[in-house]
Amino acid sequence: MAKTKYQFNPESISYEEVEVSFKTRALDFLKHIASSLVLAVIMVIILFNYFGSPKERSLQRENQELLSHFERLNNEFNKARVVLGDLEQRDDNIYRVIFEAEPIHSNIRKAGFGGVNRYENLENLKNADLIISTSKKLDKLSKSIYVQTKSYDDVEMMVKNKFKLLAAIPAIMPIAIKDFNRISAGYGWRVHPIYKTRKFHDGMDFTGKTGTPLYATGDAVVKKISKMRGYGKTVVLDHGYGYTTLYAHLNGYNVKRGQKVKRGEVIAFLGNTGKSTGPHLHYEVRKSGKHVNPINYYFNDLSADEYDRMVAFAANTGQTMD
């Protein structure tokens, strides 16, 4: 019901009822509607700008949940990387050391992915940096897991070949001696018998009578039989697993090239060929192509006391015989 309007009449000193036209009523109504609309628009703008629409708020909640999920995922990646790093350390420093295998090179473990951009299809997504970063971590982790899996396959094969490995490693003395005085020169810096200068001696020298039997120190294949400069008549055995042994200054051979021999089998005879100052055997052990001290490979022959006496005696030898 419309309100009745009154206007003060100074002549009659009284309020008189004012007749309001339909047009005036209509204009007043339109003004009211317009002001309400303006106020509503202002309120909507304020709400959308400062509080967001319900849909935007829902999307924001979803984005926040996704970010939290990615953060948890990254934490799990980091934990998995730590565990994998521990497995890699054990593999290189324990398992491969036990079987005397070379550790996996860091370049192989950390190798990336070459070629085209693997993440180009992700660059236009929202939070692209986060998604690409997570994808890279996942790819690197997958690659590292694959490399480690292949490594454990190798270790498994080493375990299966353990007995072959133990039989192949040089583990006895190449000549039967009862007196360590037969060791004329040990491994290391020694005086050359001819030039009288200090020279590194790559093996051990054992004196004896010409024709004394010499033994394979581990299962092997005869790799070489030849006359070598300075060494004279020489036999080289390939034991596999990176091991080779060399017997020099021989008087004769008891094997042929390519022949398989067992530990303890007679392969040659002590002599005085090549650059030698007397009948003796020059014996070398090499691991992965590098000379190592043969005295570390007599553990099947000697007791602890005998080994200690041999080490002490070999360390005090001065001049070589070749």
Kindly write down the DSSP assignment for every residue of 250-307, as one continuous string.
EEEESS-TT-EE-TT-EEEEEB--SS-SSSEEEEEEEETTEEE-GGGG-TTT--HHHH
Is the pLDDT reported for residue 319 higher than 60? no
The predicted pLDDT at position 1 comes to: 47
Is the pLDDT reported for residue 115 higher than 60? no
The predicted pLDDT at position 103 comes to: 80
Lowest mean pLDDT among 161-170, 223-232, 277-286, 313-322: 313-322
At residue 235, the 3 state secondary structure works out as strand
pLDDT, averaged across the chain: 80
Give ∠ CA 244-246-251 in degrees, rounded to 5.
Answer: 150
Is the pLDDT reported for residue 164 higher than 80? yes
Comparing 77 with 231, which gets the higher pLDDT? 231
- Distance in angstroms (rounded) separating the CA atoms of residues 321 and 86: 49
Comparing 140 with 116, which gets the higher pLDDT? 140
Comparing 34 with 17, which gets the higher pLDDT? 34
| Domain 180-315 falls under CATH 2.70.70.10 | yes
Instruction: Specify the pTM.
Output: 0.53
Using pLDDT thresholds of 50, 70 and 90, give the confidence band for residue 320: low
Highest mean pLDDT among 87-101, 124-138, 224-238: 224-238
Q: Which residues, in sequence order, are CB contacts of 176 under 8 Å at separation 6+? A: 213, 215
The predicted pLDDT at position 287 comes to: 93
Q: Quick one: tokens of 97? A: 């050391």
Specify which residues 280 forms β-bridges with.
Answer: 207, 271
Could you tell me how far CA 141 lies from the centroid of its own chain? Answer: 12
- Distance in angstroms (rounded) separating the CA atoms of residues 231 and 237: 15
Q: Quick one: tokens of 186? A: 């040990």
**Residues 166-186, mean pLDDT to the nearest whole number:** 84
**Residues 51-56, mean pLDDT to the nearest whole number:** 64
The predicted pLDDT at position 214 comes to: 97
The predicted pLDDT at position 147 comes to: 83
**Residues 271-275, mean pLDDT to the nearest whole number:** 91
The predicted pLDDT at position 265 comes to: 97
- Distance in angstroms (rounded) separating the CA atoms of residues 220 and 170: 9
**Residues 66-71, mean pLDDT to the nearest whole number:** 74
